[in-house]
Every structure is written in structure tokens, then in C-alpha cells.
Structure 1
Amino acid sequence: MLLVVAATAASLTLSAPAAVETVVPPPPPPVPAEPPTAEELAARIVPAVVTLTATDGWTGVAGTGIVLTPDGLVLTNHHVVSGADEITAISAATGLTYDVAVNGYDRAHDIAVVQLGSAQDLPVATLADAPGPGVGSSVTAFGNSDGGGVVVAAPGTIVATGRNVLVRDSVDGSRHRLTGMLQSDAAIRPGDSGGPLVDAFGAVVGVNTAGAVGEDPADAPTAPEAYAVPISAAMEIVEQIRSGAGGGTVHVGPTPLLGVTVTTVREGGEDRGAEVLWVSFDSPAEAAGLDIGDVITSFDGNPVASHGDLETLLMARSPGDTVEIGWRDKTGAPQTATIAVESGPPR
């Protein structure tokens, strides 16, 4: 500080000292933490992962799950558990095998929430905060690659965000569109579905869902393509399921079963009902008298113009509910019956 001096013709006067202001320099920015090595990253992530096996009769699907709570609430893909009569999980942390119950799912966004029976004190995953990773960010996908029962890491980089992609189920060949996906060049494989996509520090940024792979390495794309549901979008579905509030594309609780496979009938360029392609043995549909070639036109008092209408109306019901179903038989005659919806596998 300087002392201020005032001069006059007659005398020299020294003023009182001014107040002294102490200026504290800002602290230096923190030194960025060093990302863990690949081995350290795996040590953080693998204990919070489970490998899943979902079976339907003689067929089975391998997948992966992300542990959200110590008592075994797990996030995975819908397509991993779809159609399964029995699901089991093995914890990478404990090596124990658990029976799995499906709490709910969102088929349109390929997300499912399952519960491991009798689980306790499991390590849980660390979830990344929004916003998600940007293009060029380093990521690593972890999963039950090729169903080998061992959690494998696949490093990569975010290539794009907000991608819409048409995917095909490798089991039943069905196709549907997923929106808002993270795209990376991690080389994920069948069995990785439902596993965590993590950032450089091990926070989960996405749920591995789809990849472009070939049966023969020579058929594989020149650069791997992998797609993941952003963790923020996945957790919105998780919280809706945990609240018990089904609705929209989210189904909560046991899956209702009618016992038919249907397709949409189009006549004159318009949807005219859901034609029955298959009737399951000893199902509510068989008990009602539905047969192959019949066309379902109403369900629970609501018109059915397509297989999508029937699916939406059915999924709004619960096992044990009684509903009236209407259809046209193969002669075109209208038929109705009252049925009790049963419990079936997730779909």
C-alpha cells in the first residue's frame, strides 16, 4: 500500500493511513486424478457385475447385469430376459448363483430390472452424473462375452451420441428401433448385453445393448459398432419400475399371458385385427376356443386393429384378471368369450 500525502503552500500534512485490504490469491486448480489402469478399472467394475443365463425350454440366452443395490437389484436388457421361463445369475464378487425374478421392463427401450433372490452385501456400481460422455471420450464395455461366464473388458471410444438404430434380436430375428443411443467402437460380443459401459474412471455411462458382429471374423465390420442405452435414460425406467407405476411402454410385475401368437391383418390398406398364427396348449386362448386363422377384434371392451393394439391392451392387465375377448372365426362369424389371463414369461 502507499501512504497518501497532501501538500499546501503553508505546511506539509501527513494523512491517516488508509485501510489495508488483504488480497488472497485463489487456490491453484486441483491436479486432475489419474485414470486407473486397465487392471485397476477391472478391479473396480467386475465385482458389481453379474452374468445371467435365461432359458426357455431347451434354448438359452447369456447376458450381463449391473448391480444397483447391495440386496441384488440388477439392471439389464429386456432382450436378455424376454421369453425366459427360468433366469439365474452368478455374482462376479461372490461366485454365488442366485435365482432371478423380473420386477419390470420396457421393451421399447430394451431395459429390464430384475431381483436376485437372497442376495445381500453385494458391491454396487457407481453411476455417472449427467450429462453423459462426449464424442472422443474413452470408455470400456464389460460383459459376459460370448456367454463364457467370465466378465471381459472391451475398451473403446465414444463415436456418436443420440443415435437411432434398427436392431435385430439374435434369438428370434425380430427387429425394432432404439433411440438416443451412445455409439462406441468397443468390440462387444453376444453375452455382453446388459453389461456396463464405463468412463475412464469407472462410472457407468451406459448399458451395453447392441453390437455389429459377424459369425465369421472375416464378416465383421471394418470398425466395431456398439450401442448402449445412456445410464440417465435407463435409470428413469428403473425408478418408474421401483415405484410400481407401470404405464406407457413400461410394464411392472408379472407378465400377463393370453397364449397366442398373432400378426396384423390388413385389408384395403387398413389394419383390421390380429390374426392368430399359433395357440399355445392349455392356455387361456385355447380354453376360449381360439384357433389358428381366427382374427381377434376386441379385448376387454376395446377394439383391436393390430397385433400392437392387442399387445398394449394385454400388457395393461395383470395375471388373474378376467376379460372379454372378441374375434372373427374362419367363416367370418363373430365370437366372444370371457377368459382369465394367466402369468407368463416376460416378453
Structure 2
Amino acid sequence: MSTIYGPPVPASGEQPPPMPWRPPGGPGGDGGAGNEPGGPVRRPRRRRTLAITAACVVLVLAAALGTGLALSTTPAAPPKPVSRTSAVAAAVDPGLVDVVATLGYQNAISEGTGLVLTSSGEVLTNNHVIDGATAVKVTDVGNGRTYTATVVGYDQSADIAVLQAQGASGLKTVTLGLSSKVTVGEAVIALGNAGGKGGTPSVATGKVTGLNEAITATNEAEHTSEQLTGLIQTNVPLQSGDSGGPLLTTAGTVIGLDTAASSAYQFQSSQPSVTAAFAIPIGQAVSAARQIAAGRASATVHVGATGFLGVEVAEYPVPFTSRTEALVLGVMAGLPAARAGLVPGDVIVSVNGHAVTSPSGIQALLEPYHPGARVSIGWQDVSGQTHTATVVLATGPAD
């Protein structure tokens, strides 16, 4: 079914110390334009169907040339020093992965970035990067190897997901900082898989322009949106594919997880002079990741495989009322909804006896269930007749 996001999870408490992240046990393991904070913004996630040209960032390294006879008295130009930004990028790059998610039911590809949290291959990224994924691969920048990844779990309301690179060991990890110490005006660096090009991560710089910001983030490819709060706002020119990448201090510690950029400025020129970009504070992100890794499911956190009804729904406003309905747009053959007899045009009205008035309601009610669970679905057909059936959920894509 279509992806609908719930309410945000506020940041709480002090952020984690600047040390490698370790989970406390448990399984191993992207609207309208908007410039102002609170306005809709576009996800910096890339689908293969989007035509985006990524700028190539070249790291200039000083090199010593061979010796020879002195034929001129003109002194040679000194080698160019490596910039501080380049040095930070070179140090952090090995702790990153490129994420490529196959969205089988949408016939599309999603590309993003991830942070390696543990040497055994636990990876932190945005949920919207892997939303709808039927398969995920990650390429470790540090060793160049590509791994099949499983989705350990996700929190849609916080836009966080944890992946596990299968068979990974000895991976380089990122160093986490204190997002609670971030100040407006502070210089920051963002690394990521800009344009989905892979290889050496792209580098972008800027400053913090706001704290504790709230936005409506829109994934134009899927016509879905979510509310996020407590965000770090910057003027870093993020690109599609940077989602899930690190926002760094000039010392190279991670203070945020890049998640969205303003569509008002994005892609208007090859070198946008002004942007509004947003990152989830790393303390907030890691708090959700720890809960996922520990296997502690909740009303917003899903751990393990996703139960699948096999139906696409959309919010439909009831004419002349303030009510909305969960209208069925499509039903996938051979999956639970189809076997139960649902067809396009039906309206889902209940899940396990709980009333449903929107797709988000269905999402919330199905969130706790896994493949194999038996769930009662109630719906109304185009003639107004009500039906009820018990279905066994299939294994579906990550939500």
C-alpha cells in the first residue's frame, strides 16, 4: 500500500557522546516549493527516473615531482596544500556507504547514503531511502565491497532506518558528535552520494542557519509527505542522493543525518547560491536507531519484516463534508487484499475492528504486524455494501 507517515518523534534529552555507536543488544543487526521553515521541502533522494546532473568534487592532493637538472633559476611553485574540508572528507569517507534500494512494486530505484555504525555492518540511513524496498544493497566506501543488506527496522515518524550489511566485518565507522552543542553560524560539511553517482562521496559546505526547525517533507515521486521537527537547518546545497549522509563539524564528527532540501532553490542552477537544507540531529537519529537495533517495537518503530496487504490506497475527501476516506486505487494480484476480494473503488473502513478514515490510519494499525499475522479487514464497495474478511499478511517491502 502507499506510504503514509505518522507524527514526528521529538528530540529528547542529551545527545550521545562522540564515540562509535554501539547498540544495547537485540538483532544484528524523499511537493510544493517552500523557502521558509515549516514549508514543504523536497527529499534529496534520487530515483533513476529523475534526470539530475551532479557536480564532481575533486580533492587536490599535493604531489612531489621527480628531481632533474636545474635549467632555470625561477623557483617552482609550492605544492597546493590539502584543504581542511578535503582532509575531513578523506577521514570520514571510509565510514560511509552508498545505498541502492530496488523498489520492485514501483519499478524504480532509490539511491542514498548511509553511516556505518558498527564494524559488523550496521548502517543508519533515512527511512525514505529504503521506503518500498524489495531489495537493498550497500557499497562500503572504505573497502569498495558491495553487500546485500537487510532492513533491521525503521521509524517512519522519525525518518530513520537501520540496515545490516550481510557478511560484513572490519568496517570503518563514523564518529558521532553532540548535536546539542550545535550553534547557528557554525560551519558544517555534508558528504553523500550526490546524484547517485557512487564512488568517492561528494562534498558540500555551508553554515547552520537554524535550530529546532519543523518542516513538511514531500517525496514528489510518491506524492507522500511527513512532518519532521527538531531539525538542524543549513544552507548546504544538498542534492538528490545525499539523504542519509552525514552533516559534520569541521572536526569531522557527525552532528546530523541529512534528510531534506528546499525545492524552491534546488536544481535552479548548476551552482545554487542559496539553499535551505535540513538534517535530523544525530542524537535524535541514534536514539531511534538504538531502539530498532534492540528489537523494541512500538507504535512508531517497526522491527523485522513488513506485513503486506497488497493494496494501494489514497486519501479521498468526501464531497460536502470534512471527512476523508481510504480509497483503494489498486490491488495486487495474488496478495491478501486481492484474495479477500477487494477491488479498485472500494473504501477500507476498518482494521481489526478499529475504524479507518485515511491511509495513515491503515498504516498505523498494520504497523505492529508481521508476515503471517491474521488481520481482519472491513471495506465498503461502490454500491455501499460492507464486507469483512480475515487475511494473512504477506511479506512486503519496507515501509
With the length of structure 2 as denominator, give the TM-score of the two structures: 0.74
> Does 1:253 pair with 2:300?
no
**1:108: Cα distance to partner?**
1.8
Cα shift readout 1:154-195 (whole Å, capped 9, x = no counterpart): 111111111111222143232222211101111111111100
> Does 1:39 pair with 2:74?
no
Amino acid aligned to 2:373: D
Match of 1:76 in 2: 125
Match of 1:301 in 2: 353
* Contact 1:272-1:297 within 8 A present in 2 as well: no
1:71-110 alignment, distance < 5 Å: 71-110=120-159
Cα–Cα, structure 1 residues 265 and 214, in superposed 2: closer, same or farther, change >3 Å? closer
CA distance in 1, matches of 2:223, 2:382: 29
Residue 133 (structure 1) aligned to one of 182, 185, 196: 182
Residue 111 (structure 2) aligned to one of 40, 62, 85: 62
Match of 2:292 in 1: 241
**1:52: Cα distance to partner?**
0.9
Percent identical residues = 37
Match of 2:276 in 1: 225
Residue 241 (structure 2) aligned to one of 182, 187, 191: 191
CA distance in 1, matches of 2:302, 2:129: 16
Aligned-CA RMSD value: 1.7
> Does 1:163 pair with 2:213?
yes
CA distance in 1, matches of 2:260, 2:322: 33
Q: What is the total number of aligned residue pairs between the two structures?
A: 311
Cα–Cα, structure 1 residues 272 and 223, in superposed 2: closer, same or farther, change >3 Å? closer
Cα shift readout 1:227-270 (whole Å, capped 9, x = no counterpart): 10000100110111112111132211111110111133444635
CA distance in 1, matches of 2:88, 2:174: 12
Q: Which runs of 5+ in 1 are unaligned?
A: 1-35
Amino acid aligned to 1:339: V
Match of 1:279 in 2: 331
* Contact 2:300-2:367 within 8 A present in 1 as well: no
CA distance in 2, matches of 1:190, 1:272: 32
In terms of Rg, which structure is larger? 1
**1:273: Cα distance to partner?**
4.0
Give 3-state SS (helix, strand or coil) of 2:147's partner. strand
Match of 1:144 in 2: 193
Q: Which runs of 5+ in 2 are unaligned?
A: 1-82
Cα shift readout 1:50-96 (whole Å, capped 9, x = no counterpart): 01111224421110000000000000011110111111111111000
Higher strand content, 1 or 2: 1
Give 3-state SS (helix, strand or coil) of 1:228's partner. strand
Higher relative contact order (CA 8 A, sep 6+): 2
* Contact 2:299-2:367 within 8 A present in 1 as well: no
Amino acid aligned to 1:86: A
Match of 1:180 in 2: 230
Moved over 6 A (4+): none
